[in-house]
Amino acid sequence: MSLEQLPMLQQLMLVLAAMVLFTSFVLLEQARLLAAIHAFAWQGVLVALVTAIVASSSEHLHLFFSAALTLGLKALLIPWMLHRLVRRLELDRHREPLRRPALVIMAALALVIFSYWAVVPVVQQELLFTRNIVAVSLAVVLIGLLMMVIRTQAVAQVLGFMSMENGLFLAAVSATGGMPLVVELGVAFDVLVAMVLFGVFFFQIRESIDSLDVDRMNRLTEHVEEKS
């Protein structure tokens, strides 16, 4: 079955999922923190839209609730908290370009291809449509992971972490029609608490090393080198 023969709503979902993946790339490339936070907020909006479409096309009514929860948490509350933290830490003008942008983008592309390869066994009997979205969400998760590895700035690492969460949520919604409500609430609670703790840590880290560049925290690795 080719993609054009899919129902309109499913095609729309695929487009939105592709846009989520696109925002992941934007997030990965951004040098300015505020712009990255905005990209993250847009990713949250897109994920919430996908959720709303799944909710309207299925009988899972509680998905409307999850869509609202995602919009509130991922597109409004967390970006707002990050925005405030960045302003309080006086990092609004902080620029940190990627060191090797071409290489990073190639790595991210490789991750996308890997994700399609990894989900092949999942979908042999399934619709083409599910496979695309599961692959896209795995790619979003892995690009978030890549972002946490290559970025040395604490706020950027947190953005990578949160975009991983977005990818996971997208996978849950599109492949399975959403997790049971109690689990979704628990996950949302954990994410919120994690965000509050990240905020606490930004201040602790800055107090300790006078910067948010976590690469400068290397006392514990020094211990190991000293031993060898």
Partner 1 sequence: MNALLITVVSPLAGALILPSLRRLSWAGWLNVLVSTITLAASLNLAVTVADHGVVANSLFRVDAFNVYLLVLTAFVGVTTSIFSRPYMRHVCDSGRVSQRGMRLYHAMFQAFMFTMFLALSTDNLGVLWVSVEGATLATVLLVSLYRTPEAIEAAWKYFILCGVGIALALFGTVLLYFAAQHVISDPEAGLSWSALYSVAPQLQPAIMSLAFVFLLVGYGTKVGLVPMHQWLPDAHSEGPTPMSAVLSGLLLNVALYAVVRLKMLVDGSLSATDSPHTAGYLLMGFGLVSFLVAGLFLHRQRDIKRMFSYSSIEHMGLMTFAFGLGGPLATFGALLHMLVHSLTKSAIFVTVGHAAHIAGTQSIDHIRGLIRTQPAVGWGLLLGVAAIAGFPPFGVFTSEFLLLTATMQSQPWFTVALLTGLAVAFAGLFRHLHPMVYGPVPEGQQPVSANMLPVIVHLGLVLWLGLSIPGFLSRWLDRATELITGAHLL
Residue from the set 190, 199, 211, 213 that interacts with partner 1 by CB under 8 A: 190
Q: Can residue 219 be called a binding residue for partner 1 (CB under 8 A)?
A: yes
State which residue, 8 or 200, has the beta carbon closest to partner 1.
200
Residues 6+ apart with CB under 8 A from 15: none
Nearest-angstrom CA–CA distance, 5 and 60: 24
Give me the residue label for tokens 């487009």: 15
105 phi and psi, to 5 degrees? -65, -40
**DSSP element (H, E) containing 199:** helix 181-209
Site string for partner 1, 48-67 (x = CB under 8 A): ------------x-------
Q: Can residue 127 be called a binding residue for partner 1 (CB under 8 A)?
A: no
Bridge partners of 201?
A: none
Site string for partner 1, 141-180 (x = CB under 8 A): x---x--x-----x--x---x--xx--x--xx--xxx-xx
Q: Can residue 214 be called a binding residue for partner 1 (CB under 8 A)?
A: yes
Q: Can residue 205 be called a binding residue for partner 1 (CB under 8 A)?
A: yes
Q: Can residue 128 be called a binding residue for partner 1 (CB under 8 A)?
A: no
The residue type of 24 is S
Residue from the set 6, 12, 77, 217 that interacts with partner 1 by CB under 8 A: 217
* CA dihedral sign, ordered 141, 145, 150, 154: positive
Count of C-beta atoms within a 10 Å radius of residue 8: 8
The residue type of 26 is V
Part of the chain binding partner 1 (CB under 8 A), chosen from 2-10, 12-20, 37-45, 206-214? 206-214
State which residue, 2 or 47, has the beta carbon closest to partner 1.
47
The residue type of 87 is R
Q: Can residue 225 be called a binding residue for partner 1 (CB under 8 A)?
A: no
The answer to whether 140 touches 24, Cβ cutoff 8 Å, is yes
* Residue of 217, 198, 103 lying closest to 158 (CA atoms): 198
CB of 186 to partner 1, least distance (A): 3
Nearest-angstrom CA–CA distance, 36 and 83: 10
Which residues contact partner 1 by CB under 8 A? 60, 118-119, 121-122, 124, 134, 138, 141, 145, 148, 154, 157, 161, 164-165, 168, 171-172, 175-177, 179-180, 182-183, 186-187, 189-190, 193-194, 197-198, 200-201, 204-205, 207-209, 214, 217-220, 223-224, 226-228
